[in-house]
Structure 1
Amino acid sequence: MNYTHIVFDVDGTLLDSEDTVLLSFQKMLFIIQGKMYPLEELRFCLGIPGHDTLEKMKVEPLEDAFRMWGEFEQEFSYTMKLFKEIPSVLLQLKKNGIEMGIITSRTREEFEAVVTPFGANHYFKHIICAEDSPGHKPDPAPMLRYLELTGAKKDRVLYIGDSIYDCRCAQGAGVDFALALWGCRSPEGICPEHALKNPQDIFSL
């Protein structure tokens, strides 16, 4: 396919943030609920909005828990980094004239606090955060919002992510999906149009 737009998920795709998210989530639950959950039991939170995660865990008061989670995420931010090849890939895609965007389940506030410091925002013309569409992944609403903002044709857009939520969001909007195997822990049951072993594989498309 001749893709002219490549849209990225953030966590597990651009950013290796798994340990940061899970450790901060674990600590917040311990403080509020007094229970130390094994990290494996908390992996479901990766790729879905924080508020949805807290509701699933029946954490209250929700807003206080969300704020605390964000504070602990800053505490564990030393474990977070861009995947190794991502900076060079973004630079080359820009040189190739590809328009790039982001669709993330993070709120705008979370994105600015956690992602912006890595200095890659200038590569992306449109950044769709949790509050920018009426529905959240796996709902197609964020991708439909991207299509609305850009006027891009569906068959010219590729969404790259690491979870089944990303896949359903893209395909539900009629957009091709590429699975970022470099960040995906559970590829079983995900049916992408493309499977990419590393970020450089984007250029094979």
Structure 2
Amino acid sequence: MVKTVIFDMDGVIVDTEPVHHYAYHEHFKELKINVTDAIYETFTGNSTRNVFQKLKDLFDLKEDVEDLILRKRHIFNDAFDTKPDLFLIDGVEDLIKDLHSNEIQLIVASSASKGTINRVFTRFNLHQYFTHIVSGEDFPKSKPHPAIFEHAASLSVNPKENCIIIEDSTNGVVAAKGAGIYCLGYKSLHTKGQDLTLADSIINDFKEVNAEKIRVLL
């Protein structure tokens, strides 16, 4: 029986990808590097630090990784604070409230920085539902490495065997399965170029599930 649900954030709770896309590509212009769509798609599920470590090697960038991170986050934060059309993924707020009211523990484990997670959670008043926030910036390796989900599961008040993960990216699903945790794949209009075939089950809309249905997935 499922007693803890571990949520990814980007693409699962909120679609901040357009803001990230804007911030990254504005930064790429400043750096005068040509990051193709194919290269950019491989970054899904990676922390900002890991993205710039890869870009530094790929384009032989002279800038320090920490400086690159700070500049991108500055562009992102400016865009995030001024963008009016930022909404939670359709149906996810009702699911979060339903799970919480049925005493299922909720944890978020996202590759995003703590600052970005807190911005999203504050904007949409989500802190009250989640017991823990786990950020990818605290781990040297990003998804598909399972470390972030292994840590999230260790924070659960229940055994790992009673946890599931909701993910929308190839890297996230691989990380979930690498951690040995049941993965519910979320495939939506926002999910582009992502392979969810390793997920234990897949939904296309959060209206397909509720606390009752999720509780019996295991």
* TM-score after normalising by structure 1: 0.88
| Contact 1:105/1:130 (8 A) holds in 2 | yes
Q: Tell me which residue corresponds to 1:109.
A: 115
> Does the alignment pair 1:88 with 2:94?
yes
How far residue 86 of structure 1 moved from its aligned partner, in angstroms, is 1.5
How far residue 23 of structure 1 moved from its aligned partner, in angstroms, is 1.0
Q: Distance in 1 between matches of 2:139 and 2:38?
A: 30
Q: Tell me which residue corresponds to 2:68.
A: 65
Tell me: CA distance 1:91–1:127, structure 2 relative to 1, closer, same or farther (3 Å).
same
> Does the alignment pair 1:168 with 2:174?
yes
Q: Percent identity?
A: 20
Q: Distance in 2 between matches of 1:99 and 1:73?
A: 30
How far residue 148 of structure 1 moved from its aligned partner, in angstroms, is 1.9
Residue aligned with 1:200, SS: helix
Tell me: CA distance 1:135–1:151, structure 2 relative to 1, closer, same or farther (3 Å).
farther
> Does the alignment pair 1:198 with 2:196?
no
Q: Distance in 2 between matches of 1:38 and 1:137?
A: 21
* TM-score after normalising by structure 2: 0.83
Q: Tell me which residue corresponds to 1:21.
A: 20
How far residue 105 of structure 1 moved from its aligned partner, in angstroms, is 0.9
How far residue 154 of structure 1 moved from its aligned partner, in angstroms, is 2.2
Q: What pairs up with 1:137-176 in 2 under 5 angstroms?
A: 137-176=143-182
Query: Which stretch shifts more, 71-80 or 172-181?
Result: 71-80
How far residue 53 of structure 1 moved from its aligned partner, in angstroms, is 0.5
Residue aligned with 2:158, SS: coil
Residue aligned with 2:131, SS: strand
CA RMSD of aligned residues (A): 2.1
Q: Tell me which residue corresponds to 1:188.
A: 195
**What's the CA shift string for 1:180-204, capped at 9, x where partnerless?**
1124222436310010111122323
Unaligned runs of 5+ in 2: none
| Contact 2:167/2:186 (8 A) holds in 1 | yes
How far residue 114 of structure 1 moved from its aligned partner, in angstroms, is 4.5
How many residues are aligned here?
A: 203
Q: Distance in 2 between matches of 1:80 and 1:15?
A: 8
How far residue 39 of structure 1 moved from its aligned partner, in angstroms, is 4.9
Tell me: CA distance 1:180–1:50, structure 2 relative to 1, closer, same or farther (3 Å).
same
Unaligned runs of 5+ in 1: none
Q: Distance in 1 between matches of 2:173 and 2:70?
A: 28
